[in-house]
Chains A and B, each alone.
Chain A
Amino acid sequence: MPLAYSLPTDLSPATVVNASSLLRIVALALISGAAIASRLFAVINFESVIHEFDPWFNYRATRVLASEGFYEFWNWFDPTAWYPLGRVVGGTIYPGLMATSGVIYSILHGLNLPVDIRNICVMLAPGFSALTAWSTYMFTKEMKDESAGLLAAAFIGIVPGYISRSVAGSYDNEAIAIFLLMFTFFLWIKALKTGSAFFGTLAALFYFYMVAAWGGYAFITNMIPLHAFTLILMGRFSSRLYVAYSSWYAIGTLASMQVPFVGFQPVRTSEHMAALGVFGLLQIIAFAELVRAHVSSKQFQRLLYASVIGMGILGGLAIVGLTYKGWIAPWTGRFYSLWDTGYAKKYIPIIASVSEHQPTAWPSFFMDLQLLIFVFPAGVILCFRELRDEHVFVIIYAVVASYFAGVMVRLMLTLTPCVCVCAAVAFSSVLDTYINPVEPDAVEEEAETAGDGAVSASSTAVSTSSGSATKKGKKAAPAAQPGPLGGLVSTVSAVVSTKKGEKSRGIFGGDTRLAVLLNALGMLLFFVLHCTYVTSSAYSSPSVVLASTNPDGSQHIIDDFREAYYWLRQNTPETAVVMSWWDYGYQIAGMADRPTLVDNNTWNNTHIATVGKAMSSSEEVAYPILRKHDVDYVLVIFGGLLGYSGDDINKFLWMVRIAQGVWPDEIQEPNYFTAKGEYKVDDGASNTMKNSLMYKMSYYRFAELFGGNQAVDRVRGQQMPKIGPTLDYLDEAFTSENWIVRIYQVKKEDPLGRDLRTANAFEQGKRRKRSKPVARRRAIV
């Protein structure tokens, strides 16, 4: 059998193995470096700053942890959040992230490296992405071999779908959770393969870490039982499965209940019942198997099977019954909305209002995963081809995660690792096939039998027909050595071991190899370009600091948020309560250090609706609400001047909807639309809209800015009326450079006991017009 290109023949097998393992380590190190480096765009373009919203809370909590110690943190009651209710922080968070940075902080300080806690928080996500790459490598190694593992590690290192949640500064639970997810899955697969309780216990420990770190742990809680259940259905029950699953479940469940925020949920909510059910089923089956081993009677065995099925059904009914009786909580809204996709919009608008919870259109998939998204089905097929127990896992993962990612943009994150693994399997199969230098016998030459040919080929390939090398090659086949040369060894020997006696298969000629390999290489290069582009342009914005491009191409930094928050910090008393929409609660608490009414931990819908009501009703109605909640300042985000589309007027309808959910008599969404059902802010806006506090605060004195010209709202592209709204109960306190943040001070009650509108009118020297209704008065003014 001929070779397409010649190989060095004077290498000893030990050299090949050593070189390949060295190359592997170097490659992994480089991949880690690339993974970290590509996440640093945000730091380079802006600065080392915490991003977005939730990270600000995590950062604040970590600071408490680092300065006050773990016990203080654990019992931390935060009186400034959810004013006046306060928030028990220790019991309402997943502490894994803060604990991780806290540990790193104390280790570094123990080594006399005085690193600022902020820098640890900023760099945590990139650091863990390197670990994710490594755990993906380990996981994929179990699926195929080391070369596929390296590809998978490279993919996950730079794929935008994961970078989107783990750039430097994005200090959120997902930053460490994806590593934990992949590593738990790897340990599970390892436990299943070896049947060792050691790996089961490790899987349970990492599961515990995951539970402590991210609410998405429920994905593991359901994936592993689903895998086990599928294996049982496929008739692949084995003692290894029993050992792996039982040790994982028994320890993992008990461990997960140590996290205060999770509490007794693992035994009391439907999300966790699948795991319990499969656990019970496995015990029954294991017992039945044990009995079966001792009895040979056919009839008895049949009875045994019947009783197993009966017990399974009984157990299922018991769970259903307990759910019915209320002992087990039914699926929570968040989970339920994954199945019944209309559910969230109807019943939990607060979930539906978050942009991360919207369904995913295909461009998002392509943007986040690029070529992986279409190579991944090929990888799934290859998994079907082998279909060992661990391949079943990847297949289930692929189906489940692609459904979830379709329903919610946010869950793209769980799909990404699976896509990377499958795509790596497919890609490395292509590379294996086309790098392999062995050419099969053409159909014309039938003299030589294929089997002999293959053996002789392997001996030529590995070394100069030394018998030990061939043996080595054969031995390597199951364990599969990676790296350029190792991959060669493995593929060559794979040809030997799998295709003996069958038709030989392979590729003829060098040009064909070159064509396919060049094509693949080109695709990979394009992938790298794409990832770099997407990361730098789309995912590296801190959203606290904005950037725009000047006409000459240089970057202009828009720092309105921090400007405004520092204004609050410097110019207001420490107890001044700031009201804003919940999106900005964490930032205000983190950067301005002032009490807030509501924040991104949306645990109290009524409180949020109260803020929504205040924002969406008229000044007269809102004022008592503001006073009752001791609000001193009201903060709104307004993008009309700059064209910043994430502003409060665009979120306004959600405020209305959420308020309407609690006060359907007083707030009604249709009133905020024009008669034709359009959402307008210009002259044609409805009166309710024009009188709402939010509208007034956003457009107060906006028209003056244009000095008599037509004022234009750049976000909505609408022309504003010449005469803007007036405010009687609030005073403008601060407006940032680009008008993005506007802060209003709530006036105290009039000392003379007048209502503030009359007092204002009096001061402006106008006569009171008491008898006229509000709407008409506006028309005159």
Chain B
Amino acid sequence: MAPKTVSSPATTNSFQSLLRSYNETTLPRLKLIDAFLLFLMLSGIIQFVYCVLVTNFPFNAFLAGFGSCVGQFVLTASLRSQVNPANRAEFKEVSPERAFADFALGSIVLHFFVYNFLG
């Protein structure tokens, strides 16, 4: 992203302060989710790079794999924002437990289609 490439001292500072603030204020379980998100993102990027550089031959398999990464990523990100206490006001009807149930259901449906699509 653009902020990372800009190297003026002010932004470097603010970048550090961003990291610090993240480390300090984020709940451990959110950090766990974030780690999973990072993993999904890397996995998706690897698949994409493979597709671009090597081959996209079984295109449906690529789409299924990439789609499962992206889909799982957004579902997890949704879970993250739903359980984030800072967003409590926005999700009045979604308790953290309900959020996890939603997440599980969404993942099951997603992977059902992924499995069907792998071919």
A/B touching: CB–CB < 8 A:
yes
Please list the residues of chain A having a beta carbon within 8 angstroms of any beta carbon in chain B: 194-198, 200-201, 204-205, 238-240, 242-243, 246-247, 249-251, 253-255, 257-258, 264, 267, 283, 286, 291, 293-295, 297, 299-300, 303-304, 306-307, 310-311
The digit string for B77-119, where 1 denotes a CB below 8 A from any CB of A, is: 1110110001100110110001101110110011001101100
Collect the chain B residues with CB atoms within 8 Å of residue A242's CB. 77-78, 81
A243 touching B1 by the CB < 8 A rule?
A: no
**Across the two chains, which residue of chain A brings its CB closest to B93?**
A194
B78 touching A299 by the CB < 8 A rule?
A: no
Task: From the candidates B22, B86, B98, B106, name the one contacting A247 in the complex (CB within 8 A).
Answer: B106
Q: Which 4 A-B pairs have the closest CB atoms?
A: A307-B2, A246-B74, A250-B71, A197-B102
A257 to B109, CA, bound (A): 14
B106 touching A251 by the CB < 8 A rule?
A: yes
Collect the chain B residues with CB atoms within 8 Å of residue A304's CB. 3
**Across the two chains, which residue of chain A brings its CB closest to B91?**
A195
Q: How close is B85's CB to chain A, nearest CB, in angstroms?
A: 12
B25 within 8 A of A: yes
Please list the residues of chain B having a beta carbon within 8 angstroms of any beta carbon in chain A: 1-3, 6, 10-11, 14-15, 17-18, 21-22, 25, 59-60, 63-64, 67-68, 70-71, 74-75, 77-79, 81-82, 86-87, 90-91, 93-94, 98-99, 101-103, 105-106, 109-110, 113-114, 116-117
Collect the chain A residues with CB atoms within 8 Å of residue B82's CB. 195, 197, 239, 243
A307 to B6, CA, bound (A): 11
Collect the chain A residues with CB atoms within 8 Å of residue B11's CB. 299-300, 303
A196 touching B17 in the complex, CB below 8 Å, given contacts A246-B74, A286-B77: no
Collect the chain B residues with CB atoms within 8 Å of residue A198's CB. 98, 101-102, 105-106
A295 to B6, CA, bound (A): 16
A307 touching B1 by the CB < 8 A rule?
A: yes
Q: A239-B81, A254-B64 are in contact. List 6 more A-B contacts (CB 8 A).
A: A196-B94, A198-B102, A247-B74, A286-B81, A303-B11, A304-B3
B75 touching A311 by the CB < 8 A rule?
A: no
A-B contact count (CB 8 A): 128
B22 touching A250 by the CB < 8 A rule?
A: no
**Across the two chains, which residue of chain B brings its CB closest to A301?**
B14
A204 touching B109 by the CB < 8 A rule?
A: yes
A201 touching B102 in the complex, CB below 8 Å, given contacts A238-B90, A243-B81, A250-B75: yes
B117 touching A254 by the CB < 8 A rule?
A: yes
Collect the chain B residues with CB atoms within 8 Å of residue A299's CB. 10-11, 14
Collect the chain A residues with CB atoms within 8 Å of residue B109's CB. 201, 204-205, 251
Task: From the candidates B63, B98, B106, name the one contacting A264 in the complex (CB within 8 A).
Answer: B63
B3 touching A283 by the CB < 8 A rule?
A: no
A295 touching B17 in the complex, CB below 8 Å, given contacts A239-B91, A250-B71, A254-B67: yes
Q: How close is B23's CB to chain A, nearest CB, in angstroms?
A: 10
Collect the chain A residues with CB atoms within 8 Å of residue B90's CB. 195, 238-240
Collect the chain A residues with CB atoms within 8 Å of residue B106's CB. 197-198, 200-201, 247, 251
